[in-house]
Structure formats: C-alpha cells, structure tokens
Structure 1
Amino acid sequence: MSHIDTSWQPRHHPADKAAFVMAATGESVSFGTLEARANQGAHVLRRMGIKAGMHLAILMENRREMLEICFAADRAGVYYTTISTHLGPDEVAYILGDCDARLLITSGRYSGLVPALRANLGDACDFMVVGTDDPWLCSWDAAIADVPETPIPDEAQGLDMLYSSGTTGRPKGIKWELEPAPIGTRTMLVDLLTTLFGYGPQARYLSTAPLYHAAPLRHSMVTIKAGGTAVIMDRFDAELALRFTQQYRITHSQWVPTMFVRLLKLPEETRRKYDLSSMEMAVHAAAPCPVETKREMLAWWGDIIHEYYAGTENNGFTAITSGEWRDHPGSVGRAKLGVIHICNEAGEELPAGEEGEIFFENGHQFAYHKDPEKTRRATNQKGWTTLGDIGRVDAQGYLYLTDRKSFMIISGGVNVYPQETEDALLNHPAVLDAAVIGIPHEDFGEAVHAVVQLIPKTEASDALREVLFEFCRSRLSSIKCPRSIEFRSSLPRTETGKLHKRLLRAEYLPPK
C-alpha cells in the first residue's frame, strides 16, 4: 500500500539545511543542492535512454554521488540496484545481466572493472564513471554539468531492487512491483520506519555501513526524505563511530551485533571518552544479538536501543523496545508487519514455544527476480513466506531467532544450530569474532568446528584453545560444544555483520 505525500521530497525541505554529510571529510550536501543534482541526474538518465520502468545499477564506495544518483533514479521512475564493492567482475556481471541493467554507474576506484564487464555484457549495458579524467570512459561528472537543474518533464517514483548478500548462495534480486506513480509516493516501508523509529526533520542519523546494503541505504534515504540529516561513515570503525556521534550530535543510529561486540571490546577509557547524550534511538538488526552483548549495551547506552527482524524481502517485520526486551530477553519482538507462524518441515504450524521455520502471513509480497523456483520454495501452500530462518514464538507473540536453516549442523543425527555456540565464544574476553560450522566427520557425519578471531595483541596458543573449550563446556550442552577450534586473523563477514559461512564450509568439503 502507498499514498502520495508531496512534502516527501528534498525540494520541500529548507534549501540550506544539510540533507546528508560525509562524516570522514565533513562534506555537506544541502537539500537545495541535492534537489539540483537529483534533477540533473534524472536528465542524464533520460539522455542515456533510461526510461521509466528500466533498470540501472550503482557500484561505488560510500560517497556523496551515490546518494545523489539514488535520488535521481528515485524521481526518474526506474529500478536501481546497488552492488557490493567486494564482488569480482564475474559476480558483478552476473548481477548486471540478471537485473537487466541498461546502465552501470561506478566510481574511479572501480573503473578498472569496466573493460571486463563490457567484454562480458557487450551492448546490453552502458557504463558511466564518477570522478575520472580518463578520456576513454564516459564521465558522470561531465554529463550532469551539461543538463538543467530543473525537474524532468516526466517525473515518476522509482524503486530499489536490491540483492541478497549471497551468504548462503548466489545473490538473488528481490523485486517489488513498480507501479506508475508520482514522486512523493510514500511506500509501506517508509510509513513503517517513520512510525517505529521516529525519522523526521529533527533526526540526525548515523549510517555506519556501506550504502549498497538494504538497511543503510533505505534508512538514510528515509531520513533525508523526512527532512532529517543523514551522516554517512565511509567505513565502520568502533571509536570513530563514537567520535562522530559526539561531533554530529547524532540522534538516531543503526548497528549490527558485530559492531556492538567491537564497541564493547574497546578499552573502558575509550568508551567513556565520548559524549553520547544526544542519542535518542539506536536501532540494530541483521543477525541475532547475543543476550549478554545486548545487556552490556543497555547498561552503557540505556533504554534507547531498539531491535528489529526483517529481510531485504520485507515479507514481514518485527520490532522490540528496550523495555520489552528486558521482559523478553533474546526476543526480536512482535510482528509489526504480517502475522508470524512457526512451522515444522511438513509445513504444519507448531504451538507456542516450539522451534521451527519462521513464516509470515499477509506480509509484503515479493518475488526473486528470474528465479520462480526460489520464490516457490520460500512460499508454502497457504501463501505464507519465509526467509529460511528458524525460531520460536512465546505465548505473548514475541519471536526468538535460533539460526538460519541452512546453517544447521547435523552431528550424530542431532540438529545443532551454531548461533548459541558463537554467542558463548563471543562472551570470552579474548574473542573478537567467532564462526561455528559443521565439517565432515567420519563417525558423526558432521562435527561442530569453531573459527575464532582474537582481540588485537592476544596470542593464539594451544593453552588458549583449551581455555575456550572449557569455557564452552561450562555454558553449553556437550553436543553444542566445538570439537575443534582454529584461530584466524579475520572472518569473512559482510559489513552488515552477516557471516559468509558458505565460504568457510567450502574449505572443508572434498573437491568435486
């Protein structure tokens, strides 16, 4: 459901107010400047033959042009896909081909990919580059300098079409219907976020993650459209995030559990050095948060921490306040969009308290682009949809996440969900990050294996490994304890905290 609100556009906010700021450099873009550049971008898209309903893609680091291009697409009536900068040329080419992008806009930092992409895609896709002097590349900067700052005559509301992070397989595009509508048409998602989290003209929102991810992009754009100011970090750094919160008097912010862990691992004197009193709302999601981590954050920041559970698909949405969480520790809240159902493998609904796959009824309808089979697998016979997560609901309707179905370890015929083991390891003061996976085992089929990243200046040793074994045994049943632990300098996580367990597990599988 959507409705038209003509104030929901940069042109209706004070022209001299900051729409967004690049935190590291202090570069500020006012609403008046954003309006002019978005109009110019829309003119360029039309000159490039990108009409309403067509598709473009954006591949660049967090920089001001990225948001300006998203706003240009948003008023040109086109789909726009933001692509992870960590992908290789074959993976980028796959997404460009899959989403039928007619244009890729990238930055000078990634322009080296253009020849390979052009060779792969031929004439199906054009390319433009931001911040380049290369005469062989089509310059976005030069193109927008040559067009009017006034709106295009055929403005229409655009829409993002984002791809899953690909942690359990190849990324898939989540496509919603793009209905012809004037700009300023508020969507279900906009209404939900502004109602739950209070984004409005007073908000100063800190975006801590790359804008190619769904939550940072959507929350930043909602903040700006609501007349607030988004402050964009170019990369996450725990102490920098605290410094920017103080410097920019941040009121709203967004985090993932791994960021909380890194914040809590900072020295006490560092944590206490910054004034965080401006913060009214700190939102976190993307992965289950260890209960002890959440308790420590609440003790530090107070009852301003809100949590939600949702996916890029937005087929359902739960949320929980700090007060509710204290009464229901570990929960991600009650449904704010859709109706929650917990089902067993046969598709039968389970009673409260029993663990199974999480489905939503009457949520937002979506489809996986060009993958009807995956769309079918995500939908049961009653039309309820799932993201493949496992959990339970208590008698009051509060949802608790267990883990992803695809991460389940089957050891000796027993199902083990690794999230609880990871949470236990993260509670040890020497551990900065942890991943638990199933690896082949001759007797049990799979064995529980932990990959651990230690805090800086902590030395890996057999003695520390034994300490971690005993630490787990004191907190977990034996079946959930790792049978082996290895130490690594880093783990393969996305910037929104999701583990690429597929990559870790692949290292232990026999060659095909």
Structure 2
Amino acid sequence: MTQQSATQGSTQAQQSTAATDAPLLDVDVRATFQEQFEALAASRGEVTALIDATDTSTFAQLEARTNQLARHFQERGAEVGDFVLISSRIGSLIMHAAIAAWKIGAVPMPVSDKLVQSELDAIVEVGSPALAVDTTDRALSVPRITDLSAADELSADPLPAVVSPQLKSPTSGGSTGRPKLIVSGAVGDPAAIAQLGRVMGVPENGVCLITAALYHNASFSDALAALTLGNTTVLMERFDPETTLVMIEKHRATWVYAVPAMMQRIWKLPDDVKFGYDLSSVETFFHVAAPCPQWLKRAWIDWLGADVIYELYGPTEGQAATALTGAEWLEHPGSVGTPKVGEVSIRDDDGNPVPVGETGEVWLRRGVGEPPSYHYLGAEAESAEDQWETVGDIGRVDEDGYLYLTDRRSDMLLVGGVNVYPAEVEAVSDMHPAVLASCCVGIPDEDLGSVPALIIETADGEVPGDFDGFLTEHLAKVKRPRHIVGTTRQLRDAAGKIRKREIKREFLEPTAQS
C-alpha cells in the first residue's frame, strides 16, 4: 500500500507537528575526537572523567589510554569505516573502546554481553565487524580482543585526526526476534555526539550518572556525550534503586539518566529510605525509553521539582525526537512533548493524516531535503512518501503540538471489537503498591476474539489478594485481564523494556493453547 504524505498549509499544521528550528549546537567542540579529548586532557586533565566499579580515571588518563587502545585496534586490523563490536559488563572498558574506535575512524558497535551464542552469531553475520572487543566467554568468528593489557606498551601520544563515516551502529531486534543494526546517518565527530547529548539535556563540565547498561543506545550515547562535553561520568554496573540514590548523593550528580521502570522501583522504596538521601545536586533528572505512567511522573515532579524532570521520546533510528520539561508536562499531562528534532504526523490505517486530537499511527521524519538519520543492516524501514517512517507507535497530537503516546500498534488488542491498549492496563497495575512491573498481552477467546492477560512481578511472586478489586476500581470491564499470573522474575530488562513475546511464551502459551 502506498502511504500518502501529509497535506500542506493549514491542514498540515493541524495534523502534524515539527521542530520550530533546526537544533543548534550551543557548545564548542573540536573537529575530531582525537582533538576533542586532547583538548579536555589539557584543560581538565586532573578532573575525574570516568568512575565505575572497576576503575577511576582522569581526563588525562582517558586521553592516553584511548590513544594506546586505538593503536592496538589498528595493529589488529581495524581501519577507517570498520565496525568494532564492543561487548562487556565493564562500563569503563566500553567507553575506552568506543572512543578508541572513533580515534581511528572506526564505528563503535555496542552489543549486549547477555546475548546467547546464536544471537551474537546473527549480529556478527549482519554487521561483519572487523574487530571485536568482547570480555565474555562466547565464541566469535572475527578477530577478537579479550584483554586490553596488550595496549599497555604502546604509545600514548596523539594520533592523526580522522573522522569516522558513521557515529555508531547499535543493535536492535529484541521486539521482533530478527537482529538488525541501526547505522547512524551522522558522521563520527564530537559535534554529532554532543548534539545528541544536548537534546537529552546533558550538561557541560558537570557530573552525570548513567544507571543503565551501556549496550543500550540511549545510555551508550549519553555516556559518550557526557565525556565529550567534559563531565565526570559515573557508570553503574547494574541498576539498584537505593544504590542510585547513594550514588547521586556521593558524587553530587547534576544530571541523572533513568527509565520509568527505575523511577518506579525507586519510588516504591520505603519513604524513610528514599527521602533520606540528599538529591539537591540534581539539576536534570532525565528519563527515556518507555512511557511514564502519569501518577509516577507527578510523584517525581512533586519530589524533585518540575524544572528538574525532563523527558524525551524518540526511536533509536533518530528520525525525530520530542521532549518536555516537568513544567510543560503539568500543562499537558500525559504528553511526551513537542519535536526538538524532525517532524511528527498522526495517520490512519490508510496513511491519511487525521484531525487534531484523534488517535492514529505516529509517523516521523527528519524534514524535507534533510539526509537520513540512519540506515538498517538486516531489515527494511516501513516508510511512506517524502521520507515519512513509522516504528509502530500509536498516539495523538493536541492543538498545541504536544504528542501523546497510547501504545504500540503490534500490542493493541481487539476485544469484542473494542480497542484495548495494554499500556493503559499496565499503568493501572503498576499503581498497586505490591506490583514492581506489569506485562499485559492478549490471549485467544472464543467469544471475544482476544482478551487481556496480565503477568505481574511482585516480591513474593504472588498476586495480591486485593488486586482484582483494585483493577475493577480503575479499569472498565472490557480492559480488565481475564487471566493474571504472579512471578518474582524480573520482567523488565536493564533498559527498562519488556520483551512481551518472550514473556507471553514463558507464562501464557499453555493458557493460550488450552
């Protein structure tokens, strides 16, 4: 089916929303990563650059070490434009390897250290990396570095300045089961990563806390942006709600990365615990990756202040991004903001723009005549005319141009002819004090076609005794789950995402087949 582009003029203004101006980089950076980190070593050499569970290093040490590693990568055959696969649980190693790859004009390719062998093999087949920095015990069919000590005797002097043809190449495929690479359309220079960081509120010369694993695109990009912008960057090996508060207080973090699942776990700590830490240093509490339930967002705004909370919505592909402050959110509750990059259009099933306020599929693009923000390896984009693309989200735009997300197109259930959005069910379920996370999916029903089923994560793995009554109070009958399963299994991954296909197979396929 050929999708239609949005109409022009006043109709376009009513049915889509766009960034008012192209984002301008408001900080000074050098032309190449070699020059940028050399300059940081000169101006902030004794300032701590990286902190994780294994290492603390200054900007001078970061510059020297990444120069050594860059030479080691060259010795192992990596060249300009090559992909360098990076997979480790050690955050500082991932950062060192990514910067070293940039310094020789290669493209960092972060990969989860939790992938099983077959998943890793599929990623390698798609991406064909020239070199892998991998500290796991998995097998690899490409040249591999497991121990970085071989670089210790190499020169730490600056390398010739070079720019990679692509900034990064993160992996995806967890929701579809088919691995792909999302190769950035931006060149690998400091301006590109700094611009990404600034859109996400990353400051200059502050203290940034990254609470998620670095194989995720947003945390990987934000950590590298933080370093490029001269920030002390604190990396958590794994998320823990109270440890996050400890780290904020200990390091006086000014910018904090989180996802709504983390916010919920922190909020459900006992009051004497969560309110017992000094968070006054935080100037920006940034959250991303998934819709935030309104009750939770309001609770955090009340806690830290509306001017501190900052949210961004945008796919890894980078066609567009919306954002808003807590103050804006209070005026537009439930919104994920207005475009800061690119354009947003809401369309019906035939690809036609819908009127303001009506729900439809969210389509995105960078803008007429602008170069693509990415290209896939291992997949094809779902695109329309004039560079419009969709990643399958459902939402609406209000009269002020603010975007609201409802759910994923693939997740929506048709229950007796009524659209039921699992995200709404999950948001209500998560409000219950005993629920740590929720996953709503559809199961077959002879009469209604499909009905909601719910898996909830609780401390004891049991469904609370008052849970049915709680759902009845907050959800219409058609939206209420017909089957509920309790578990202690962690439903969200390190990035705060729920892999519904896997969870449904694990908990509900016997139910669906019975």
Report the TM-score when normalising by structure 2: 0.88
Measure, in 2, the Cα distance between the counterparts of 1:44 and 1:56.
12
Matched to 2:180, the amino acid is: K
Match runs of 1:129-140 below 5 Å: 129-130=146-147, 140=148
The 3-state SS of whatever aligns with 1:388 is strand
8 Å CA contact 1:332–1:399 kept in 2: the answer is yes
- Identify the residue that residue 178 of structure 2 maps to in structure 1: 170
Deviations 1:396-440 (A, max 9, x none): 000111111111122223221100100001111121111100012
- Identify the residue that residue 46 of structure 2 maps to in structure 1: 16
Which of 128, 153, 156 is the aligned partner of 2:145? 128
**Higher RCO (C-alpha under 8 Å, 6+ residues apart):** 2
8 Å CA contact 1:99–1:369 kept in 2: the answer is no
- Identify the residue that residue 352 of structure 1 maps to in structure 2: 356
C-alpha displacement at 1:198, in angstroms?
4.7
- Identify the residue that residue 339 of structure 2 maps to in structure 1: 335
- Identify the residue that residue 9 of structure 2 maps to in structure 1: none
| In the alignment, structure 1 residue 431 sits paired with structure 2 residue 435 | yes
Over the residues paired in the alignment, what is the CA RMSD in angstroms? 2.1
C-alpha displacement at 1:287, in angstroms?
0.5
Residue correspondences, number: 475
Residues 60 and 386 of structure 1: CA distance in aligned 2, closer, same or farther (over 3 Å): same
Matched to 2:138, the amino acid is: L
Matched to 2:149, the amino acid is: D
Deviations 1:351-371 (A, max 9, x none): 111111111233572455334
| In the alignment, structure 1 residue 216 sits paired with structure 2 residue 243 | no
Residues 370 and 66 of structure 1: CA distance in aligned 2, closer, same or farther (over 3 Å): closer
Matched to 2:358, the amino acid is: E
| In the alignment, structure 1 residue 446 sits paired with structure 2 residue 450 | yes
Which of 156, 162, 165 is the aligned partner of 1:155? 162
Measure, in 2, the Cα distance between the counterparts of 1:64 and 1:198.
19
Measure, in 2, the Cα distance between the counterparts of 1:272 and 1:222.
30
The 3-state SS of whatever aligns with 2:350 is coil
Segment drifting more, 470-479 vs 81-90: 470-479
C-alpha displacement at 1:195, in angstroms?
5.5
Segment drifting more, 343-352 vs 359-368: 359-368
8 Å CA contact 2:199–2:340 kept in 1: the answer is no
Matched to 2:475, the amino acid is: L
8 Å CA contact 1:166–1:172 kept in 2: the answer is no
C-alpha displacement at 1:165, in angstroms?
5.3
Deviations 1:129-171 (A, max 9, x none): 03xxxxxxxxx312x1232112333633462100125123323
- Identify the residue that residue 30 of structure 2 maps to in structure 1: 6
The 3-state SS of whatever aligns with 1:494 is coil
The 3-state SS of whatever aligns with 1:53 is coil
Measure, in 2, the Cα distance between the counterparts of 1:289 and 1:70.
30
Report the TM-score when normalising by structure 1: 0.88
The 3-state SS of whatever aligns with 1:173 is strand
Which of 96, 112, 134 is the aligned partner of 1:106? 134
The 3-state SS of whatever aligns with 2:387 is coil
| In the alignment, structure 1 residue 487 sits paired with structure 2 residue 486 | yes
Matched to 2:152, the amino acid is: A
Unaligned runs of 5+ in 1: 131-139
C-alpha displacement at 1:102, in angstroms?
1.5
8 Å CA contact 2:344–2:362 kept in 1: the answer is yes
Measure, in 2, the Cα distance between the counterparts of 1:427 and 1:419.
13
Matched to 1:470, the amino acid is: G
Identity %: 33
C-alpha displacement at 1:382, in angstroms?
3.2
Matched to 2:153, the amino acid is: D
Measure, in 2, the Cα distance between the counterparts of 1:248 and 1:275.
11
Residues 104 and 299 of structure 1: CA distance in aligned 2, closer, same or farther (over 3 Å): same
C-alpha displacement at 1:176, in angstroms?
2.5
Which of 63, 67, 72 is the aligned partner of 2:100? 72
Match runs of 1:195-344 below 5 Å: 197-201=201-205, 203-303=206-306, 304-344=308-348
